[in-house]
Amino acid sequence: MEAASFAAGRVRRASALAWVRGLLSSYGLYVALLALPLVYGINDLQHAHNLTRLGQNLVNGLSNGAIWALVALGYTLVYGIIELINFAHGDVFMIGSFASFAFWTTLGLTVATSVLGLVGGLLVTLVVSMIACGALNVMIERVAYRPLRNAPKLAPLITAVGFSFILQNVGELWLGPAQHNVSDLIHAQQKVFSISGVVVNRSDLLALAVTAPLVILLTTFIARSRLGKAMRATAQDPEAARLMGINVDTTISAAFALGGMMAGAGGLIYALYQTNIWFFQGFRAGLFAFTAAVMGGIGNLRGAVAGGLIIGCVQQISDNRFGSQWTEAIVFGYLILVMVFKPQGLFGEQTREAG
Amino acid sequence: MSVSPATPAPPATAPAPDDGGLLRAIAVTKAFGGLVAVEDVSFQIPARSIVSIIGPNGAGKTTFFNMLTGLYAPTAGRIAFDGRDITGRRPDRITALGIARTFQNIRLFASMSALENVQVGQHARMKAGLFGSILRPPWVRREERETRDKAREMLDYVGLDSSVHEQLAVNLSYGDQRRVEIARALASDPKLLLLDEPTAGMNPNESARLTAFMRQLRDERDVTILLIEHDMKVVMDVSERVTVLDHGTKIAEGEPATVRNDPRVVEAYLGKRESESADETGETTAEGG
Amino acid sequence: MDLSMLGALTRPLREIVANKWFNRIAVPVVIGFAIVFPLFFVGASPFINNTVQALVYVVMALGLNVVVGFAGLLDLGYVAFYAMGSYAIGWFGSEFLYPVNHQKGVHFLVSRLPGSLPGVHINFFIVIVIAAALAAAAGAVIGLPTLRLRGDYIAIVTLAFGEIIGNIAANGDQLHFGQYTLTAGRQGITPVDVPNLPGVGDFSPLNNRPWYYVALALVLIVLFCNVRLRDSRLGRAWIALREDEVAAASMGVPIVRTKLLAYATGAAFGGMAGVLLSSYTNTVNADSFNFSFSIFVLAMVILGGLGSIWGVVLGALALSYFNTYGIPDVLGPFLKNFGLDVTQLGFGIFGFVLVLMMVLRPQGLLPERRRKLEMTQGIGADESLVEVNA
């Protein structure tokens, strides 16, 4: 007994480095994430004697993050089931924006359309965009991933990158290489109300109003429905799921369909929110959303939503304080931090390896 | 009696190289999260002996191997090899010090030839680095030639004739793959060879030949052998000492004949029904002896 | 496109490459041809111009091949090393650092013209060595965080690093260090010093021949390194790691060191190519350090065959010429029939090539024996590491 405790002591001392590493991997990411609001909160208090600016950053961040959350859900669904980074997912989101814009133009929605017409038209647009992106995502799976299901992981990742390029090119042919301004149907920047100086705009409410019900529907669907249960079973052990009579191909297609639908919804919100779309928006969105998915613990739906909101806030703080040209570098910096120190995410991972 | 349930841990002094133990594990524990795979196991192997670890599935045998070879760092406890503390050292360092292993489910480099596999086994004994490999000065050429010759010699030694040397590992028969794996392990000039279920999937004839080969190895090359084995006939036949693990703890240790009759061992293997099955095991081992 | 047709087309080529006489006869013949053929073109020939670029891509593809092909580490941020090389010549071979030494400049082994200009001017060939060292260091730093990650996470982390470096390059004019800034931002650095090598003629935009010979020499050096590394202790260790990390570590292969050597070696070649490309195009252009560049080089490696040295050379030449001739001259008229403008289709076509290659012929045009097994039979598919204590 004595020997045992003595030995344990020796091990502990010998691995001081591992201890530091453990500490970093346990708390490093939290510290890095909390640093931004803390530093700027203190900064605001010192200079403006209130937290209005930080509050505004966070409100914008949360609404912006709602879009990343929708896209992140697609990553996490697909990775949770087949452990594939669907690199083309960001571009499916971009196609969602483009399709939404094209459809509402066809419907004849303009800034002058009545409120009722606008709400109805946009709801139809939402459904159309979701179906289009869901179908597109399923098609990509059939063409680019399914034939490679037994190949090394490298192969589908490369076809995913290939498809990402193809979709970007489609977008470029569709609306040209420049950023494209779309009509500001909902008057996105119009103030709805404010709380002690922190303004909440229509765009913020829109993001919340679309995202929240969708996320609730999706999580309920996964938790309750037959297909949802099949998805969870396949995620845990595809071989066992197959033996239990679950059609794995259908289940995987369903994951892609659901992920694509969320991206389609995200695409519509993005177009209305930013009033500015372009063929390259999906690259950045995809990587931001992927960061969110990993941060939330890949395979974990609620985690992906939380991750999306966090990334949105990081992005807003960075846009507002460092300048938007640095935002990519900063978010990607967080991506690396997450990958290195907490690849299982903040809230735990739900993939085969972990479970 | 040499059989004693989990002998108390030896005094906690630095393991001396001269006490006859080539390898000593002192109160080694490995926990994965809340699951304790190996608990407080102390163990030693005298030089030039052949020792077996047995135990039912999930007893922690392979985990124990993985700690000895550095794939896992023990949660607690120490491991000393050849007079050096190797607790938590990197696997490649441990291989360089003289421990080599094979795997339960053969892990050859499938797309490499048998010869190249054995050459990789010599990695720790070679010196060529980045610039040496590119510029290939005379000493590197010599080193390459020597490793190739030695790889051929090793393959011959395990009984693979030159017709299979250039074949890709993936194309070899199961038995030949096992041999290549042993040759690859031997190529690093180990003092201690760990064999993880070396006779799995072999017929009695092949097992017997492998048993003879282990003795030959020990006698000709001074290699100490530690094996995990399920085939009781092999265990009883070849081992000088047997250690029994169950649920991560050591439940018995000693000479094969004594361990075989230890009631705790019988219970661990057979659960509550002891009578008939126990006799069967006894018979098999008796034949082997 | 038919899979077997593609295979049949390249079979004779594959047999030649596999033949042991290939190295003894074909290689000297090809090299001899490569040395002689520019003499049949005028110095300003656009074909030689495109060939110089193709050769630079060969160097980059061979470098990436060490990382992805040999060691199996999917690097999607290879552009970072092109950027390092570009800034090496930007910093040490242009007027960018003009305040240095009271605007009189620092000069080291350079010819008269740059020798009279402000800024740091170091001999082109020394800058190549500096770039190799800088890029290798960057490669190791980028590699460090990926060591414990699964394969696809490695891809994303390297991609993120590549983007960060591109982002810093494009906005580096806002990062001040005393009188200096880190980069010139999107404005770019131009002009850039050219090599000075007596005997091969003037390095000017009007005479591509000397550039060609420098590029060819670089290709030969990198090719030599690739061949030597493949058949060495290190090369075997890379393949072993790629196939089975646990077994490799248990056989005495140090994981960290071996992986970092792969990153650093591949990066060094990328850095060297970056110096040459920037000097040749006479500019360090921050906007060219983007993700599609990494994918362009990766597509070359994949088209040729991961890990296959001659395949990668072929893939790089093929895609590079495809880019300069095939797309505008062949695909252009064809696609015009469908009302498509080929100049807007560049990266879509590469995406299509990637998908097509992976689905139809994942082993590439001239597959390496092992990789063919891995890509077609799923051997060595990534198994997650238990807990290697490295």
Among A19, A94, A154, which would you mutate to test the C interface (most chain C Cβ atoms within 10 Å of its Cβ)? A154
Mean pLDDT of chain A: 88
Q: Is pLDDT of B203 > 80? A: yes
Q: Which of residues 201-240 of C touch B (CB under 8 A)?
A: 224-225, 228-229, 232-237, 239-240
According to the model, what pLDDT value does residue C223 have?
95
Interface contact flag, C381 A153, Cβ < 8 Å? yes
Tokens 């990198």, residue located: C222
User: Which residue in C72, C74, C344 is closest to A157 by CB distance?
Assistant: C74
According to the model, what pLDDT value does residue A251 have?
93
Q: Is pLDDT of C206 > 90? A: no
User: Which residue in A83, A169, A332 is closest to C160 by CB distance?
Assistant: A332
Residue spans per domain, chain C: 3-377
Report the gap between the CA of A11 and the closest CA in chain B (Å).
Answer: 6
- Nearest residue on chain A to C347, alpha-carbon basis: A165
Q: Is pLDDT of A2 > 50? A: no
Interface contact flag, B27 A4, Cβ < 8 Å? yes
Interface contact flag, A325 C348, Cβ < 8 Å? no
According to the model, what pLDDT value does residue B25 have?
92
- Which chain A residues are Cβ-neighbours of C185 within 8 angstroms? none
User: Which residue in C228, C250, C252 is closest to B136 by CB distance?
Assistant: C228
Three-class secondary structure assignment of chain A: CHHHHHHHHHHHHHCHHHHHHHHHHHHHHHHHHHHHHHHHHHHHHHHHCCCHHHHHHHHHHHHHHHHHHHHHHHHHHHHHHHCCCCCCHHHHHHHHHHHHHHHHHHHCCCCCCCHHHHHHHHHHHHHHHHHHHHHHHHHHHHHHHHHHCCCCCHHHHHHHHHHHHHHHHHHHHHHCCCCEECCCCCCCCCEEEEECCEEEEHHHHHHHHHHHHHHHHHHHHHHHCHHHHHHHHHHHCHHHHHHCCCCHHHHHHHHHHHHHHHHHHHHHHHHHHHCEECCCHHHHHHHHHHHHHHHCCCCCHHHHHHHHHHHHHHHHHHHHHCCHHHHHHHHHHHHHHHHHHCCCCCCCCCCCCCC
A127 interfacial to chain C (CB closer than 8 Å): no
According to the model, what pLDDT value does residue A339 have?
85
Residue spans per domain, chain B: 19-98+190-289, 108-187
According to the model, what pLDDT value does residue C103 have?
83
Interface contact flag, C355 A144, Cβ < 8 Å? yes
Interface contact flag, B124 C232, Cβ < 8 Å? no
Range C218-222 average pLDDT: 96
Size of interface A-C (CB pairs under 8 A): 142
According to the model, what pLDDT value does residue C6 have?
60
B181 interfacial to chain C (CB closer than 8 Å): no
User: Which residue in A3, A11, A18 is closest to B74 by CB distance?
Assistant: A11
Interface contact flag, A147 C359, Cβ < 8 Å? yes
According to the model, what pLDDT value does residue B12 have?
43
C133 interfacial to chain B (CB closer than 8 Å): no
More confident of the two residues C2 and A216:
A216
Q: Is pLDDT of A234 > 60? A: yes
A17 interfacial to chain B (CB closer than 8 Å): no
B188 interfacial to chain C (CB closer than 8 Å): yes
Range C372-377 average pLDDT: 67
Interface contact flag, A11 B77, Cβ < 8 Å? yes
B215 interfacial to chain C (CB closer than 8 Å): no
Mean pLDDT of chain C: 86
Q: Is pLDDT of A5 > 60? A: no
- Report the DSSP beta bridge partners of residue B45: B23
In chain A, the percentage of residues whose pLDDT exceeds 70 is 94
- Which chain C residues are Cβ-neighbours of A325 within 8 angstroms? 167, 170-171
C385 interfacial to chain B (CB closer than 8 Å): no
The answer to which of A193-197, A295-299, C64-68, C204-208 has the lowest mean pLDDT is C204-208
Q: What are the pLDDT digits (tens) for C174-185?
A: 988 888 889 988
Tokens 């004994």, residue located: B125
User: Which residue in B91, B111, B123 is closest to C233 by CB distance?
Assistant: B123
Neighbours of chain C (3+ CB pairs under 8 A): A, B
The answer to which of A259-273, B250-264, C277-291 has the lowest mean pLDDT is B250-264
Interface contact flag, C247 B188, Cβ < 8 Å? no
Q: What is the ipTM of this complex?
A: 0.86
pLDDT band for position B27 (50/70/90)? very high
The answer to which of A28-32, A252-256, B134-138, B167-171 has the lowest mean pLDDT is A28-32
Q: What are the pLDDT digits (tens) for C244-273?
A: 999 999 999 999 999 999 999 999 999 999
Q: What are the pLDDT digits (tens) for B227-237?
A: 999 888 888 88
According to the model, what pLDDT value does residue A13 have?
46
According to the model, what pLDDT value does residue C80 have?
96
Report the gap between the CA of A353 and the closest CA in chain B (Å).
Answer: 13
Q: Is pLDDT of A201 > 70? A: yes
Mean pLDDT of chain B: 84
Q: What are the pLDDT digits (tens) for C77-89?
A: 999 999 999 999 9
Q: What are the pLDDT digits (tens) for B70-112?
A: 999 899 999 999 989 999 899 999 999 999 999 988 999 988 9
Q: Is pLDDT of C353 > 90? A: no
More confident of the two residues B284 and A162:
A162
More confident of the two residues C56 and A149:
C56
Separation of alpha carbons A28 and A22, rounded Å: 9
Range C327-344 average pLDDT: 77
Among B65, B67, B92, which would you mutate to test the C interface (most chain C Cβ atoms within 10 Å of its Cβ)? B92
Q: Which two tokens stand for residue A331?
A: 């978010």
Tokens 């597509």, residue located: C299
pLDDT band for position A149 (50/70/90)? confident
Query: Hey, what CATH class is B19-98+190-289 in?
Result: alpha beta
Domains of chain A from N-terminus onward: 35-341 (1.10.3470)
User: Which residue in B100, B107, B128 is closest to C233 by CB distance?
Assistant: B128
Highest-confidence range of B161-170, C124-133, C140-149, by mean pLDDT?
A: C124-133
The answer to which of A84-98, A237-251, A309-323 has the lowest mean pLDDT is A237-251
B110 interfacial to chain C (CB closer than 8 Å): yes
